[in-house]
């Protein structure tokens, strides 16, 4: 179970369309590459609603995919418009923290379906 601090962003930075950095209230920093993030889209087109199986992975997306636009969703998530036209994913902060790609976090927690 992640603490509220671990899932509360204090700073969100975007470098062009390539990279997103989130600094969390527990002082951890997560750096996401666009392609990784696109390949872990939690929407119903990318993850089967009935089986929970991932249908679209990093291998399925264009290597040069980028973030066309990003905006907060209420208080709890981020939404991305991707350069490949995909727009249906809502990435909750809890989900984003779970998929933090840093060596310390990888393997710490399995990917979970989002809210």
Partner 1 sequence: MSAGQIREPQVLDALRSVMDPDLHRDIVSLGFIRNLVIEGDTVSFDVNLTTPACPVKDRLREQARQAVLQGVPGIRDVRVTMTAEVRRPQAPDTSALKTVRNIVAVGSGKGGVGKSTVAANLAAALAKTGAAVGLLDADIYGPSIPIMMKAGRPAEPREHFIEPGEAYGVKLMSMGYLTPGDQPLIWRGPMAHKAVQQSLLGVNWGELDYLVVDMPPGTGDVHLTLVQTVPVTGALIVSTPQDVGLQISMKTLRMFQQTKVPVLGIVENMSTYVCPHCGGRDDLFGHGGAREAANRFGVPFLGEIPLDAAIRRYSDDGRPVVLAEPDSPSGAAFTEITGRLAQQVSIQAFKHIALTIVEE
Question: Which residues of the chain form contacts with partner 1 (CB under 8 A)?
Answer: 7-16, 19, 21, 25, 70-78, 90, 92-94, 115
**Minimum separation from the CB atom of position 57 to partner 1 (A):** 25
Of the two residues 10 and 106, which places its CB atom closer to partner 1 in the complex? 10
Rg of the chain over all Cα atoms, to the nearest angstrom: 13
**Minimum separation from the CB atom of position 52 to partner 1 (A):** 18
**Minimum separation from the CB atom of position 105 to partner 1 (A):** 20
Of the two residues 24 and 100, which places its CB atom closer to partner 1 in the complex? 24
Residue 21 CB contacts under 8 Å (≥ 6 apart), including other chains:
11, 12, 13, 14, 15, 29, 30, 31, 32
Of the two residues 57 and 109, which places its CB atom closer to partner 1 in the complex? 109
Of the two residues 58 and 94, which places its CB atom closer to partner 1 in the complex? 94
**Minimum separation from the CB atom of position 97 to partner 1 (A):** 12
Angular region, 85: left φ>0, alpha ψ -120 to 50, beta rest: left
C-alpha–C-alpha distance, residues 60 and 68, integer Å = 18
C-alpha–C-alpha distance, residues 4 and 17, integer Å = 28
């Amino acid at each position: 179970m992640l603490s509220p601090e671990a899932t509360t962003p204090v700073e969100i930075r975007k470098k062009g369309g390539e990279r997103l950095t989130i600094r969390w209230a527990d002082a951890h920093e997560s750096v996401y590459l666009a392609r990784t993030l696109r390949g872990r889209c939690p929407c119903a087109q990318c993850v089967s609603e009935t089986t929970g199986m991932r249908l679209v992975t990093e291998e399925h997306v264009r290597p040069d995919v980028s973030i066309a636009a990003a905006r907060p969703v209420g208080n709890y998530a981020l939404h991305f418009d991707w350069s490949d036209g995909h727009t249906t994913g809502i990435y909750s902060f809890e989900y984003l923290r779970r998929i933090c790609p840093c060596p310390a976090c990888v393997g710490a927690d399995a990917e979970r379906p989002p809210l």
